[in-house]
Structure 1
Amino acid sequence: MAQELEIKLTLSPATAEAAFQWLSGLPEATVGDTKALINTYFDTPKAELNHQRAALRVRRAGDRYIQTLKTQGEFRAGAHRRQEWEWPLTGTRLNLGLLADTPLAEGVNLAELEPVFETNFERRIVMLEEGDTVIECAFDLGRVIAGEQSRPLCEVEFELKAGDEGQLLHWATRLSAAYPCFLNLISKAEQGYFLAGLHDPSALAPDSDALTRLCHGVSVGWLTGAVTDELRQALDDVLVGYEGVLSEAQKADLRRLCQSPDPDVIESLGALQLALMNT
């Protein structure tokens, strides 16, 4: 079992291409492989894994197959920290025996696991190395598919491989200052569950900090098209807590989100979100 720490930004496809070219040209960057990834997520008919805030998938990457289990984990300063188990497979079939020593071993009938949705995309890698810090930047472009339903997927994930955690926020902030995007706290798995009609993202715990709750509420609004109580309350808290930091124009943009989750406003929030994370 390992721990994964990452920051994820959602962009438009045109913006993602420009951002990839920009990041690739920096002196700290090395361009890695491009891969087509086909990911099948599994759950029981009662969505028991989702209720436990876990996600189980089998990924095909070329001639390699990987079984992965992830927990939802926690958010901190815009980054997502969660537990992760990975095992190589010989094909697309789940190996249930590998789950025996994980949290799924109790409370879930593993024999009932079945495919629920897919996230299929092309992944382009840029590695950033600065001193002892190594960050993998994964640009993902594709679709989330559940039965006859699908939705676009366009993200860049900054994942810490070694070194200073603070550099994740640094690099995400640099990209957000150069290209429109937003900090997305909704995972690919949550997007798939929502598309499959099995999951409405729940609010973060009330004791989560106001900015993280605001970012989560924005992400839920982007996914569902609905304004939540979490977003309204978090907005009130942020407007009070960051009174001397936010401009009147920024306050107006944030208030507009409580009228409707306007995609144009959301997709330009990244620079503001990450600037506030840095305060």
Structure 2
Amino acid sequence: MAEELEIKLTISEENIPAVERWVSTLREARFGEEKHLVNRYFDTPAADLNREKAALRVRQAGDRFIQTLKTRGDFVAGAHRRQEWEWPLPGPNLQLGLLADSPLAERVNLAELSVIFETNFQRRTWWIVTETAEIEVALDSGQVVSGDQVVPLHEVEFELKAGDSGALMSYAQTLAAKVPVFLNLVSKAEQGYHLAGLYHPRIETGSGPLTVEGFLQRLSLAWLTGTPPKFREDELKGLRSIGHASKVLSNPDSVFDAIESGTPIRSLVSARDLGQLQLALAHA
């Protein structure tokens, strides 16, 4: 079992060349490889894994197959932190015996597992190596598929392989200053579950103070569902002050005002302001 720490940014298809140009010009970055990945996600008919906040997949890359189990984990300073188990496979079939010692074995009927959806995409990777950190940058472009339904998938992931975790945020913010991005807390698996009709998150206001993580989570769910996030009166007041203190944007209130007025999150993603504000809040 390993621990994964990454920052995931959703981008538009039209900005893929700009991301490639940016990372290719970094003196400390070297190109890794390009490969096509086919990922089959499994769950029970009652979506038991999804309720356990876990994702189980078999990934095919060329003639290699890997079975992976991930927990949802938590959110730390703008990055996802999750537990992850990986096992190489001789072929494309799921091996239930490998899950016997995992947290799922006692809570899920493994015999009921079947393919629920797929994510299929082209992945280009670069390695950023500095004196303080080693980071893998992955640029994914493809689709999420469930039956006859298909939605686009375009993401940049910064994953810490070694060293200072603060480097993840630094590179993410540098990219966000050049290309519109969206700090997305919704995983590929959650996108697939939603497309398959097995995940229907409700966007509700809480009873206590709004945290940065809570704010980012509501934005991510609003992006996924296409519905506007809801906020109580003055709920964003504290976050507005953080936005001004960050000095990343000259007028962060304009972004907050657009969100509060019900502007669709997917409409705001096309400009740089939203992504820059998200990352500034996560870094505060």
Pairwise TM-score range, normalised by the shorter structure: over 0.9
Map of 1:10 onto structure 2:
10
- Segments of 5+ residues of structure 1 without an aligned counterpart are none
Q: Is the 2:228–2:265 contact (alpha carbons within 8 Å) kept by the matching residues of 1?
A: no
* Aligned residues of 1:118 and 1:145 also touching (Cα < 8 A): yes
Structure 2 match to 1:187: 187
Match of 2:211 in 1: 210
For the structure 1 residues 231 and 211, does the alpha-carbon distance in structure 2 shift closer, same or farther, using more than 3 Å as the test? farther
Distance in 1 (alpha carbons) for counterparts of 2:233 and 2:61: 41
Q: 2:91 is matched by which residue type in structure 1?
A: G
Distance change (3 Å), C-alpha of 1:24 and 1:64: same
Give the 4+ runs in structure 1 shifted more than 6 A: 203-209, 230-233
Equivalent position amino acid for 2:222 in 1 = G
Deviations 1:69-122, CA, capped at 9 Å, x for gaps: 000000011100000000001111110000001011111110000000000000
Partner of 1:28: 28
Bigger shift: residues 135-144 or 230-239:
230-239
Q: Secondary structure at the match of 1:105?
A: coil
1:62 aligned partner, one-letter code: G
Per-residue CA distance 1:117-153 (angstroms, 9 max, x = gap): 0000000001100114100000000000011111000
TM-superposition CA deviations, 1:11-58 (whole Å, max 9, x none)? 111212211121112101000100000000000000000000000000
TM-score, normalising length: structure 2: 0.91
- Give the equivalent residue in structure 2 for 1:220: 221
Alignment of 1:260-271 (within 5 A): 260-268=263-271, 269-271=274-276
Separation in 2 of the partners of 1:215 and 1:20?
26
State which drifts further: 115-124 or 269-278.
269-278
Is 1:72 the counterpart of 2:72 in the alignment? yes
- Give the 3 Å change call, closer, same or farther, for CA 244–60 of structure 1 in structure 2: closer
The CA deviation at 1:165 is 0.5
Matched AA of 1:274: L
Deviation at 1:219, TM superposition (A): 1.2
The residue type equivalent to 1:54 in the other structure is: A
Q: Distance in 2 between matches of 1:95 and 1:199?
A: 25
Aligned partner letter, 1:210: T
Distance 1:242 1:261 in 2: 20
Determine if contact 1:135/1:158 at 8 Å carries over to the other structure.
yes
Residues 240 and 252 of structure 2 are in contact (CA less than 8 Å); yes or no, is this contact kept in structure 1? no
In the alignment, the residues of structure 1 paired with residue 220 and residue 158 of structure 2 have an alpha-carbon distance, to the nearest angstrom, of 17
Partners of 1:190 and 1:260 in 2: CA distance = 23
| Number of aligned residue pairs | 279
C-alpha distance in structure 2 between counterparts of 1:110 and 1:271, whole Å: 42
Structure-2 change in CA distance of 1:71 and 1:152 (3 Å): same
- CA RMSD after TM alignment: 2.3
Kept in 2: contact 1:10–1:184 (CA 8 A): yes
Structure 1 CA distance for aligned equivalents of residues 6 and 245 of structure 2: 29
Q: How does 1:31-42 map to 2 (within 5 A)?
A: 31-42=31-42
Q: What is the deviation of 1:207?
A: 7.5
Taking the aligned partners of 1:23 and 1:231, their CA distance within structure 2 comes to: 40
3-state SS in 1 of match to 2:200: coil
Q: Is the 8 A contact 1:225 1:260 kept in 2?
A: no
What SS is found at the alignment partner of 2:281? helix
Between the aligned residues of both structures, percent identity stands at 50
Alpha-carbon distance, 1:275 to partner: 2.3
Cα drift, residue 175 of structure 1: 0.5
Amino acid at match of 2:218: G
Q: Does 1:252 pair with 2:254?
A: yes
SS at structure 1 position matched to 2:263: coil
Output the CA distance in 2 between the equivalents of 1:208 and 1:58.
40
In 2, Cα distance between equivalents of 1:232 and 1:124: 43
Give 1:87-102 correspondences, 5 Å limit: 87-102=87-102
Query: Which residue does the alignment assign to 2:277?
Result: 272
Distance 2:52 2:215 in 1: 23
